[in-house]
Amino acid sequence: AVMLAIPLIGAWNLYAMPADTVIGVQVFDYTLSLFQADRLSLLFGYLFHLAAFLGAIYAIKVTDNSELIGSFMYAGSALGAVFTGDMITLFVFWEMLAVTSVFLVLARRTERSQQAAMRYIIIQVLSGVILLAGVLLRVHDTGSIAFGHIGLDGTLASKLILLAIGIKCAFPLLHNWLTDAYPEATPTGTVFLSAFTTKVAVYALARSYAGTELLVPIGAAMAMFPIFYATIENDLRRVLSYGMINQIGFMVVGIGLGTEMAINGAIAHAFNDVIFKALLLMSMGAVLHRTGKINGSDLGGLYKSMPKTALFCIIGAASISAVPLFSGFVSKSMIMVAALEEGHGMIWLLLLFASAGVMEHAGIKIPYFAFFAHDSKIRCKEAPTNMLIAMGLAAAISIFIGVYPWALYSVLPFPVEYAPFTAPHVMTQMQLLLFSALAFAVLKLTHIYPPELPGVNIDAEWSYRMALPKAVGLFKKTFGPLDRAVRKTALGLVNSAIGAVFRLHGPTGVMARTTLVGSMVQWVVVLLAVYLVLFMIGD
């Protein structure tokens, strides 16, 4: 009951908060804006409360206190990040996101999860360090700590801040912390993880780098490359992790375009993605909870044992695939139309291809291999009631927004003059979906489609999981003899210095001997005489 009450009370307090409320505190010469709300932050605030509420229902039977406490502290850190008005406070919540979320990976208590958690926290803390460096440089350059539009203005500060956000946003080559750690978390942990870290990064991009042209090709690359990895991946939660990067790519393109329609589309898609991605991960979490398996090669035929979960998974798959009358359609199409209006025809084609890939790996592959395909002979109970309720609510929201998108459009940052259900939009999307489904069927029937095989696919993470340790080993092997010689020489010099000091100041050393009073008087007289002579010469 307490878990369910926390997000509800928080949402009510946010709703009751007077408009344009600003809470600040003076620290030395700077004002830290601990709370500052506008349409953009309020939308993400309500979204994060909704995600926390759905996660709380899903986790209501979890007994691990560290996981529960970590989940809500994680959600609170995300809320703190979107309502702050200065970069210093943002940095604090940025690091809190890293520290609190790692417990959701560790909570699974397997060797793989512990190793993934260590890699995860290192990269997340690195993002925070880079952010802090950028903020300090920006304060030095401008004297301002305001969390507002920055843009790539050519300064090192703007580049470092973008890099820090890019790490959390899972930019290409900076993305593997997500596909490495999220699939190793608990079923509940993955649901929470999917909602907050990357969406805080999307919010930060929209707040600080809207209209930055560099984000357009970066977002297109993010939308493209994960579909190839997702196609050959066996772990279905890792498939969804790659799908998460794909969907963030659409948002990054929208933010990079910078027009009102593009920004609205990116924010709307972030809202929808939190809901339908949580729905898909909840369905896969329920499968893992009941069967103990999550690889496509081990599953199949579960629709017989888990028909309700299968139905909810299909609704999530339809939403992420942007099937008309489901939530993904009413937001993704805004971004693609904005790309065409801005003259980015090639980007539009890439996003169109990426949309087909989403239909293949998330719209078809996830429900097909988990609940249909070959019969794995696994017979289990349906998902627990609390999980079904959470999935049912997420499915209902996805359908409601898909049927009545104006409920979402009305709270977007800019006025919306977009009609999603025009004949060209619907026909184009239906053709894309049908041909994607046909391609999947043909590839499966002709045995060209990559089979689901146990194994690990090499990604960019190979550079720091395998190549870096090997490079360090090679360095030690090559320069080891020189290192040992230098150490031996240095140690000899240190020992000689210590011996010399001991000879002078040791118990039998010169400086330790007693001195007669007469000798001391004699030395004083000599020194005074020398001083007197020098004084007379000086005159």
State the pLDDT at residue 451.
Answer: 73
Query: The pTM is what?
Result: 0.85
Mean pLDDT to the nearest integer, 397-415 = 94
Mean pLDDT of the chain: 89
Mean pLDDT lowest among 385-399, 414-428, 503-517: 503-517
Instruction: Please determine, for residue 513, whether its predicted confidence score (pLDDT) is greater than 70.
Output: no
Beta-carbon count within 10 A of 427 CB: 11
Query: pLDDT digit string (tens) for 197-230?
Result: 999 999 999 999 999 999 999 999 999 999 989 8
State the pLDDT at residue 490.
Answer: 84
Query: pLDDT digit string (tens) for 486-505?
Result: 888 888 888 888 777 777 66
Burial 35-57 (b: 16+ CB within 10 A, else e): bbbeebbbbbbbbbbbbbbbbbb
Instruction: Please determine, for residue 410, whether its predicted confidence score (pLDDT) is greater than 70.
Output: yes
Burial 518-533 (b: 16+ CB within 10 A, else e): eeeeeeeeeeeeeeee
State the pLDDT at residue 21.
Answer: 80
Domain-wise residue ranges, the chain: 1-208, 210-455, 466-537
What is the SS3 assignment for 269-325? HHHHHHHHHHHHHHHHHHHHHHHCCCEHHHCCCHHHCCHHHHHHHHHHHHHHCCCCC
Query: pLDDT digit string (tens) for 99-126?
Result: 999 999 999 999 999 999 999 999 999 9
Question: Are 58 and 383 contacting, i.e. CB atoms less than 8 angstroms apart?
Answer: no
State the pLDDT at residue 483.
Answer: 74
Mean pLDDT lowest among 169-178, 311-320, 473-482: 473-482
